[in-house]
Amino acid sequence: MSQIFQKPLKILLLSTSVGALGSGLGGGVELTLKSVAQALSRRGHSLTIVAPEGSVLAGVSLVPIAGTLQITAQTQGRDALVTIPQNSVLGNMWDYARQVQREYDLLFNFAYDWLPFYLTPFFERPIAHLVSMGSLTDAMDQMIEKVAVEFEGTIGVHSLAQAETFRFKNHCRNLQNGFDLSLYQFCSQPKNQLAWVGRIAPEKGLEDAVAAAEIVGIPLKIWGVIQDEAYWQKILADYPTAPIEYGGFLSTTELQQVLGESRALLMTPRWVEAFGNVAIESLACGVPVIAYRRGGPSEIVRDGETGWLVEPDSVDGLVSAIHKIDSLDRTLCRQQAEAHYSLEAFGDRLESWFAALLH
């Protein structure tokens, strides 16, 4: 039950509007929303999730909303305009929220999109916003900042590095993330393979991991949604002899099984990764993480203990770290995940955020 609230809260969770839950298009937000729902319902809070039609999430009350999906924010320039298509699912979701808001104590926004921030002052109920990416466009920064300042305490982020990308960094609450660790099995004896997990899109820098795998001659297994087909084809064309194998987009249960059999996970993002869910999923299986020293992973990986932090964009750095990987103790990886990123630890962080926000 709740550690902080006498009475359970009624919370309306509004998902990302770039894809249905379960499609993989929402990236880490999909698993984050699931973790939030699990962490909070275990504490007795009553939850309803509003998400694009076609969403799948077992064991929760889900309100599917029809409409056209938003395009993703990652690939646009700093001066990108805010775009909303005709019959926007984002607009429809927030229209629904407006109508039912009085049945809830709190609304919880997961969309990195302009509209929910803009609408905040027009709602009667408080809105908690979990911002899933660092600064990307001026229009978004300006709107999030307005809410951060006028509605103090309503902006949650996943890492200090992510907060640092915003002018309003001092108004952000660092919630990190949490995971149902019972789904991830510790694997002490890996196969001779490396792993790369994530959306296949330019900001994720997959080509560096492929280049490193080619140099060390260890097979690289790749799992995740191909979000940018042209980018993926270019990698295949640029590295025709690299020892890579694409395994598709897997469910958490399937993913942890094969990820666990890896000697290390490579995280090679070009952008400031807000958190990097896959880092914790990897640690939970006992798999050390080799990551560029930037963004969320640089706050997660304990250099020389649960992985190696490497100079950003350096393939040579990745290669040296791969050579040192067997000196790390895989049990410490699992222990770190349990100590900081369990649903219990995350539930504590979420509840104290809500308590501060609602009082």
In residues, how long is the chain?
Answer: 359
Least Å distance, CB 215 to ligand UDP, is 24
Tell me, residue by residue from 200 to 239, as one string, x for binding to ligand UDP by CB under 6 A and - for no binding.
-----------------------xx---------------
CB 315 within 8 A of CB 4: no
Give φ, ψ of 31 to 5 degrees.
Answer: -70, -35
> Given the complex with ligand UDP, which of 94 and 110 has the nearer CB atom?
110
Is the CB of 97 or the CB of 209 nearer to ligand UDP?
Answer: 209
For helices 28-42 and 277-284, what crossing angle results, to 10°?
A: 70
Nearest distance in Å: CB 21, ligand UDP: 11
d(CA 19, CA 55): 8
Answer for which of 171, 199, 270, 334 binds ligand UDP (CB under 6 A) is 199
Q: How many residues bind ligand UDP (CB under 6 A)?
A: 17
Residues 292-351 that bind ligand UDP (CB under 6 A): none
Span interacting with ligand UDP, options 7-15, 57-65, 104-112, 273-281, rule CB under 6 A:
273-281
Q: How far is the CB of 103 from ligand UDP (least distance, A)?
A: 30
Is there binding between residue 28 and ligand UDP (CB under 6 A)?
yes
Residue in 89, 187, 255, 309 binding ligand UDP, rule: CB under 6 A: 255
DSSP label at residue 168: T
Residues 6+ apart with CB under 8 A from 113: 17, 70, 73, 90, 140
Label residue 241 left, alpha or beta by phi (over 0 means left) and psi (-120 to 50 means alpha).
alpha
As given in the structure block, the two tokens for residue 96 are 């629904």
Report in angstroms how near the CB of residue 198 gets to ligand UDP at its nearest. 5
Region of residue 118 (phi > 0: left; psi between -120 and 50: alpha; otherwise: beta): alpha
Among 264, 278, 343, 350, binds ligand UDP (CB under 6 A): 278
At 276 the three-state DSSP class reads coil
Residues lying near ligand UDP in the complex (CB under 6 A) are found at: 27-28, 31, 197-199, 223-224, 249-250, 252, 255, 275-278, 281
